[in-house]
Chain A
Amino acid sequence: MTRGLQRARGSLALSGLWLCALLLGSLGLAGCGQGGVKLSPTQHSNLLQLVMKAQQAQLHTPHLGQRAVHVYAHVASTGAHHFATLEQVATDGHGGYALQPLSVSGELPTDPATFLAQHADNAAFYHRFRDFMVRDLDLFIENYLVLGLPVSTTVAGRACITFECKRAPSHLATVGGVFTVSLDVETAFVLAYEERDKHGNVVAAMNYETIDYAADLSGITFSTVPVEQVLNLSGDPSQQLGFQPLLPKMLPSGYKLDHARMLSEGPQKHWACFEYTDGVEKLFFLHGGSAPKTQVGPGGWTRSLFQTSSPYRMYVTTAGSWTIAQGVWDNQYVVAVGKLPQSELLPFVESALP
């Protein structure tokens, strides 16, 4: 008890120091106006250190907590739809995770039971890709601006620093909006974030209601991210895939290749999966060779979609800030998904084609 109190006092003192240092260090931001400034080691050393620590902290810091995840779908014909999921989330600090939906509320697209089941199926995806995360510090510093002054807040009883960031003005074509992020001053854990699109509409939000960094995790069954077969791009990836993968040559502004993986759905049925990031956002390009894809995803590819249509056709779907392109190029299956406008995603896809 005494030790716990001392730890709490130490933590409080550390948090206070952090707050003072951050607020003092951020005074330089006062004159930066509404346009925002890039994080610089000289001007924002404390915030920069916190962001640096936050990189990947979400995946590797052991913790147990409950959080509410809000999703907003803005449909032109019917207006905004909102639903929220209460999740229990835990990580063991070694790559293991446990993500369990507890309840849902709001305007659900399906019945609650089905929705919760789908949520459980997508847990791995949500854990890695759904929430705000600084995925590449260099790119984040290069591509993002910090807006205004960081402020001190409290989330789930933890002292936080909350700041706003958005893509730099040189990338206005990108449709991403503004993130408001709350970082735990002590652990740099992202305890809350909110994303608004370019029109100011909230499109996603998450906030921890409870969090415990020293919880007893012994009773929790952790999953691990599926073993990935890293594509050897410097060698001959066709030996892994059975075909020479198409690789985009013209990337959207600010993006870089983050991971190259092979996804398998059976013998001789592989996908080359290239994952790009601009520091925060994700962009995927998948090439499935010419083998018909029948087992990936819940229902697999609908062959008639591609077989009966043009051999050079791309189907494009726009959902909020997201654009999904999929199709065939001379019997080569390709998919691209990213938070980019069509005018940026399609040249990206086209640059991969032979």
Chain B
Amino acid sequence: MPHDPTSTACRAWREASFDDASFDVEGARGSTALHGHGATCAECQSWWERQRRIARALRSVARFAAPQELDRRTQPDELTEVCTRAVLDHLSVLHAPSVLDRLVREEIEGQPGTTVRRFANDLERHTAPAALDARVRQVGSAAGAAGETQAADERAGARGMERGAGRGASRARAIATPAHSARTRRAWWIAASSALAAGLLGVWTYSALDGAPRYRFEVVEIDAAQLREQSPFGFGLANGLTGGALLAQATPANGPADAEGRR
């Protein structure tokens, strides 16, 4: 009866035999792997010897080192870049929504006001000092005594400096905020706006002055006399088109030479 190589015992013994150290030892015979099921199963013994021959043949194959360029290219950074590029190449091109065009246009057309506004919004907010907060509460209480409820004034006073909301808080701020602080803040705003406007004006002026066209060739300007001397062909062509005016420009030193050349 032929031995069934797919039997559970054969499969388990063969899988276990790969872990046998003798499998990796050249010339090892009578390995311990042939104990157990392998000692009694001719099919598995034959399989075992076949695997060892294959292993020996593979060991005899010379090794080739990978080119250094390949090593370099498989560095993580390189791979990341290649993968990123490949992904980007396969991405479909998406167009920005039209609203972005409008926003960008408004941003550009609204200069320098839009920049000033954005700059102002990005300024760090400062919280009021605790002493000022206490004074606001105090004034708020007085206002409450004048006819408004204490609770409402306290709530409004508490958030007055932060949000500027509430009638009581507004009054309190108007009283408690020193006048010179408001002036300082206003002056600071004016200074910042002026600096920004000056900067934008400078950038615009620089762009306008540097707006000379760029060509892919060097441009050398020469006058009519140089043109006549250096390239008679170009000169002749242009002189014919201008009815001789170019020749007159090329030789102004010779004129005037009034002449009557009637034939």
B222 near A350 with CB under 8 A, answer no
A324 near B227 with CB under 8 A, answer yes
Q: In the complex, A106 Cα to B234 Cα: how many Å? A: 25
A105 near B258 with CB under 8 A, answer yes
B231 at the binding interface (Cβ < 8 Å): yes
Interface size class of B (residues with CB under 8 A): 35 or more
Segment at the interface with A among B3-11, B81-89, B179-187, B240-248: B240-248
Contacts A110-B251, A313-B217, A335-B233 given; indicate if A319 touches B245 (C-beta within 8 A): yes
Q: In the complex, A309 Cα to B183 Cα: how many Å? A: 65
Q: In the complex, A58 Cα to B252 Cα: how many Å? A: 32
B254 at the binding interface (Cβ < 8 Å): yes
With both beta carbons as reference points, the residue of chain A lying nearest to B212 in the complex is identified as A343
Contacts A122-B240, A299-B232, A350-B217 given; indicate if A103 touches B249 (C-beta within 8 A): no
Chain A residue numbers with a CB within 8 Å of B261 are 103-104, 112-113, 115-116
> In angstroms, how far is the closest chain A Cβ from the Cβ of B239?
7
Chain A residue numbers with a CB within 8 Å of B248 are 71, 73, 75, 81, 83, 107-109
With both beta carbons as reference points, the residue of chain B lying nearest to A108 in the complex is identified as B257
> In angstroms, how far is the closest chain A Cβ from the Cβ of B236?
4
Chain B residue numbers with a CB within 8 Å of A300 are 232-233
B260 near A112 with CB under 8 A, answer yes
Chain B residue numbers with a CB within 8 Å of A81 are 248, 252, 255-256
Which residues of A275-321 have CB atoms within 8 Å of chain B's CB atoms?
A: 282, 284, 286, 293, 296-302, 305, 309-310, 312-320
> In angstroms, how far is the closest chain B Cβ from the Cβ of A75?
5
B15 at the binding interface (Cβ < 8 Å): no
B218 at the binding interface (Cβ < 8 Å): yes
Contacts A102-B262, A109-B254, A310-B218 given; indicate if A319 touches B246 (C-beta within 8 A): yes
Segment at the interface with B among A8-16, A125-133, A254-262: A125-133
A71 near B217 with CB under 8 A, answer no
Q: In the complex, A343 Cα to B215 Cα: how many Å? A: 11
A109 near B247 with CB under 8 A, answer yes
Which residues of B117-140 have CB atoms within 8 Å of chain A's CB atoms?
A: none
Chain A residue numbers with a CB within 8 Å of B222 are 315-317
Q: In the complex, A122 Cα to B235 Cα: how many Å? A: 12
A337 at the binding interface (Cβ < 8 Å): yes
A284 near B236 with CB under 8 A, answer no
Contacts A108-B259, A109-B247 given; indicate if A301 touches B231 (C-beta within 8 A): yes
> In angstroms, how far is the closest chain B Cβ from the Cβ of A314?
5
Chain B residue numbers with a CB within 8 Å of A170 are none
Chain A residue numbers with a CB within 8 Å of B223 are 317
Chain B residue numbers with a CB within 8 Å of A298 are 232, 236
> In angstroms, how far is the closest chain A Cβ from the Cβ of B238?
5
Q: In the complex, A119 Cα to B113 Cα: how many Å? A: 64
B63 at the binding interface (Cβ < 8 Å): no
Q: In the complex, A112 Cα to B249 Cα: how many Å? A: 17
Question: Of B220, B226, B249, which contacts A75 at CB under 8 A?
Answer: B249
Chain A residue numbers with a CB within 8 Å of B263 are 102-103, 116
Question: Of B235, B241, B250, which contacts A282 at CB under 8 A?
Answer: B241
Q: In the complex, A319 Cα to B221 Cα: how many Å? A: 11
Contacts A83-B244, A108-B255, A125-B241 given; indicate if A346 touches B213 (C-beta within 8 A): yes
B216 near A315 with CB under 8 A, answer no
A337 near B238 with CB under 8 A, answer yes
Chain A residue numbers with a CB within 8 Å of B251 are 109-110
Contacts A204-B243, A302-B231, A347-B213 given; indicate if A335 touches B259 (C-beta within 8 A): no
Q: In the complex, A10 Cα to B226 Cα: how many Å? A: 56
With both beta carbons as reference points, the residue of chain A lying nearest to B214 in the complex is identified as A350
Contacts A81-B252, A103-B261, A317-B224 given; indicate if A109 touches B244 (C-beta within 8 A): yes
B259 near A314 with CB under 8 A, answer no
B231 near A319 with CB under 8 A, answer no
Q: Which of B224, B227, B255 has the most CB of A within 10 A?
A: B255
Q: In the complex, A286 Cα to B236 Cα: how many Å? A: 14
B256 near A106 with CB under 8 A, answer yes
A69 at the binding interface (Cβ < 8 Å): yes
Question: Of A77, A125, A301, A310, which contacts B252 at CB under 8 A?
Answer: A77
A216 at the binding interface (Cβ < 8 Å): no
B237 at the binding interface (Cβ < 8 Å): yes
B241 near A314 with CB under 8 A, answer no
A326 at the binding interface (Cβ < 8 Å): yes
A71 near B242 with CB under 8 A, answer yes
B252 near A106 with CB under 8 A, answer no
A297 near B242 with CB under 8 A, answer no
Q: In the complex, A81 Cα to B250 Cα: how many Å? A: 12
B254 near A110 with CB under 8 A, answer yes
B32 at the binding interface (Cβ < 8 Å): no
What 1/0 flags go to B97-115 for Cβ under 8 Å of A? 0000000000000000000
A315 near B220 with CB under 8 A, answer yes
Chain A residue numbers with a CB within 8 Å of B255 are 78, 81, 107-109
Chain B residue numbers with a CB within 8 Å of A118 are 244, 247
B233 near A316 with CB under 8 A, answer no
Known: A78-B255, A104-B260, A297-B234. 9 other contacts (CB 8 A): A108-B256, A115-B259, A122-B236, A125-B240, A129-B241, A301-B232, A310-B218, A312-B217, A314-B220
* A–B complex contacts, Cβ < 8 Å, 11 sampled: A81-B248, A83-B244, A103-B262, A107-B257, A111-B259, A204-B243, A299-B233, A305-B231, A315-B230, A326-B231, A335-B234
